[in-house]
Structure 1
């Protein structure tokens, strides 16, 4: 996609913002209009035209702009020009040409972003020229801007990873089955790939067909799944496959449409990668998978629900959108047939199950192989006795993955300072990678989420759960 050539000069602070059409004027015409009109001049004397004491200077010739495409200024908010020597670049919150609108050859101003735009240093809120001599004020403003930028990066990465949700089914949709046999078989369901078409647009979905079994799914859990908003680690539903929409389907009974097509189950992943990955790499990916599972269980606990039995064969793995295939997979909790209401005040039912699953994942790597594997083994023991909530477990896993470590906890170092340094370092790290054209992935998004949400108190609770 090509974007229009940028203008050679940048509009200043006082650029007009509400003209009906972009106008380019000739300087000679402007000067001519500033002179008195003929009606206001004294009458000429008869005779030579040289007798006119105020001759009208001829207008200057009109100039044509050398740019083939110029940016109109109608509707564009005023902004501060970039400092000399620093080119204006399309980055987070910048007012640049919208690339999605530039493919038709007609440049239009980009819509203002929802988040505050990056502006010049002296325009930052809460900072005046007098504060440049106050280190405390400078530190507070820089810290606020780092956190704001981190949250912006996290929100944009989340939008890319989640992508456009297909939404519910409508009568005008058409369907086509891609597979005559199940694409993935989990412990409780068969998944077939399908395409849903409407007005030239199509979505790749998965038809989920429940397996017959002695234990009937709990209707309460299935109703809860249908009512939950889209979440990165919860299987989303788009309705049911209409009867008669597909001739000769290879299944019997009803089928629901899942928004994400799984690639394998966690049990299959363990069998495939257990012999190929090194122990250090395996422990890292296992921690990222358990972190995503904790985030999914946290959503259930917030709704007063609990998973009666956590089975690896019912945990689905899918490739996150827009990420490299070599990165960690996306984990989806899909077994809502075993979700039941959790009595208020009851101990957390997920902690012992997470501890057993963690030991299963660590069975492929010796606990002493890496410090991370040793920390995960310690967490598994704490899950069995302390029974923390899913949110507390997620915080402990974040601390194991990205710090702070037990040394900082034993020294009693200020965790707020550590958090500030890590936020600044991550923003710089992402900027360096973006300048080289490297796209962030799932692990970057999870790290951004950690540092954007963490507080000094939450860090202290996580370290206490791990090392006290």
Structure 2
């Protein structure tokens, strides 16, 4: 039989893939890369593996893993969206990355923008993690300290001051010392007031910059030299001759060891800042925005863990001095009241007290929302009231409830922040729960008040997602340049305000900005 005719061969078209990066070779005479040099490594030092820094067992200029996904030649690289986390390859890019590895990312001009934006996001994440570690301390060191303090009591601690360093609405705080790893540490011994204990809730909250951090706890007899002010009896009046001859035994109380030593409460700060508000309204109201922002971030953390704040009042919000600046900044101390302190939520329960008589069932519901810890609206109403208190505007409970006063008190327009704070307070205290903004929305409004976009951006331009996306990209670039210039020029290390700013530009998207500006500038 004749053989069938041969079929024509098909020409298979293979997609050309990006070349896999091979080992990079350093030419003779090239400078040896130095670890920690900004010319060769963008990631900040002291970052551990897993926080965006290159692995410790491989230098930043070593060959990276090949790209897992094949990319056809001529196909533009997908531009990374600001709200998405950068890919692992972008996280590992540094100034010292070999040119052979950069080449595939640069073959299409459209991909360069995506690479730059991804590197910016990764750099902001590393910088934010580094600043947070400077503020709250390394997590592994805290765990070692907690283990060392387990089972310790007053005998293992040295009382640095018999008088409380701070008295909040629910506790007294004493400065104590403890020797750990051949160094003397200072932290606070918190002695809860009668019927005020949140240990069961507080010990499971995790680490957050705006939440009081626990290191340990015990129950023991109070040392004889400690003084508890405000307690009726001989202790608060000073010892008599009989007491010195035969001292009465101190009470056995619960003690909670806290990592941060509070300087004062928010109530004391507001009370002592009338002159600052009058002479420097812009600076003071900016401080107020930053303190309120810390509070909202802490409340978000609590809600994320299905926890509720307790008696949210200025007397239970603590202010802690940030870590001391490096040696190059020691002579640049700001006057008292001008520097930004950390704000800590320390109360996670409701202190039972007398409630005023309510004239109606509806007013009673509102009153309970303001004082009880469980209703979801309690935080919003209390933060709204707190704005008035920070701005030194008296606002009785009746005015908040809106039953005896149709309008809220006027907030004087003293700075560029006044109108925005007034708008936020009105939205938080709205009588209709459906019109009331949430804590998450309040946090976004405060961030826009502090760092923009301001209303002038939309004066001659139609607000659009493209405009807001471009604004975000430019501001991220300028923020990183500012950090670099400050570090190189003045040696100023980023602090709490810079960390809050990083948090904003790390998580903001054009969509969230559109929603927030719609509410704020309505």
After TM superposition, the score normalised by the length of structure 1 is: 0.71
Mapped to 2, the partners of 1:464 and 1:142 lie a distance apart of 29
Between stretches 317-326 and 334-343, larger displacement belongs to 334-343
Provide, for residues 249-308 of structure 1, a one-character-per-residue CA deviation record: whole Å limited to 9, x for no partner: 445322211111000111111122221351111110000000000011111221233335
In 1, are the aligned partners of 2:163 and 2:226 still within 8 Å (CA)? no
Flag the 1:342–1:268 CA change in 2: closer, same or farther, 3 A: closer
Query: Of 206, 219, 230, which residue of structure 2 is paired with 1:229?
Result: 206
Query: Of 164, 178, 187, which residue of structure 2 is paired with 1:196?
Result: 178
Flag the 1:403–1:175 CA change in 2: closer, same or farther, 3 A: same
Provide, for residues 430-458 of structure 1, a one-character-per-residue CA deviation record: whole Å limited to 9, x for no partner: 11111111211211111111101111122
Q: How many residues align?
A: 374
Provide, for residues 336-368 of structure 1, a one-character-per-residue CA deviation record: whole Å limited to 9, x for no partner: 23299977xx65321111111011112379632
In 2, are the aligned partners of 1:358 and 1:376 still within 8 Å (CA)? yes
Mapped to 2, the partners of 1:191 and 1:433 lie a distance apart of 36
Flag the 1:417–1:195 CA change in 2: closer, same or farther, 3 A: same
How far 1:116 moved relative to its partner?
Answer: 2.2
Mapped to 1, the partners of 2:35 and 2:500 lie a distance apart of 29
Q: Which residue of 2 aligns with 1:116?
A: 92
Q: Which residue of 2 aligns with 1:391?
A: 440
Q: Which residue of 1 aligns with 2:451?
A: 402
In 2, are the aligned partners of 1:235 and 1:334 still within 8 Å (CA)? yes
Flag the 1:198–1:154 CA change in 2: closer, same or farther, 3 A: closer
* Structure 2 unmatched runs, 5+: 1-22, 48-55, 61-87, 229-250, 326-331, 352-370, 394-409
In 1, are the aligned partners of 2:105 and 2:112 still within 8 Å (CA)? no
In 2, are the aligned partners of 1:305 and 1:341 still within 8 Å (CA)? no
Mapped to 1, the partners of 2:42 and 2:57 lie a distance apart of 6
Q: Which residue of 2 aligns with 1:380?
A: 425
Structure 2 matches for 1:125-136, cutoff 5 A?
A: 127-131=104-108, 134=109, 136=110
Q: Which residue of 2 aligns with 1:271?
A: 271
Flag the 1:280–1:181 CA change in 2: closer, same or farther, 3 A: same
RMSD: 3.6
Is 1:336–2:338 an aligned residue pair?
Answer: no
Q: Which residue of 2 aligns with 1:258?
A: 258
Between stretches 236-245 and 376-385, larger displacement belongs to 236-245
Mapped to 2, the partners of 1:270 and 1:116 lie a distance apart of 45
How far 1:112 moved relative to its partner?
Answer: 5.0
Q: Which residue of 2 aligns with 1:105?
A: none
Mapped to 1, the partners of 2:346 and 2:191 lie a distance apart of 12
Q: Which residue of 2 aligns with 1:167?
A: 146
Provide, for residues 22-71 of structure 1, a one-character-per-residue CA deviation record: whole Å limited to 9, x for no partner: xxxxxxxxxxxxxxxxxxxxxxxxxxxxxxxxxxxxxxxxxxxxxxxxxx
* Structure 1 unmatched runs, 5+: 1-11, 16-77, 101-108
After TM superposition, the score normalised by the length of structure 2 is: 0.64
- Structure with max Cα Rg: 1
Flag the 1:97–1:137 CA change in 2: closer, same or farther, 3 A: closer
Mapped to 1, the partners of 2:35 and 2:349 lie a distance apart of 53
Query: Of 488, 491, 494, which residue of structure 2 is paired with 1:435?
Result: 488
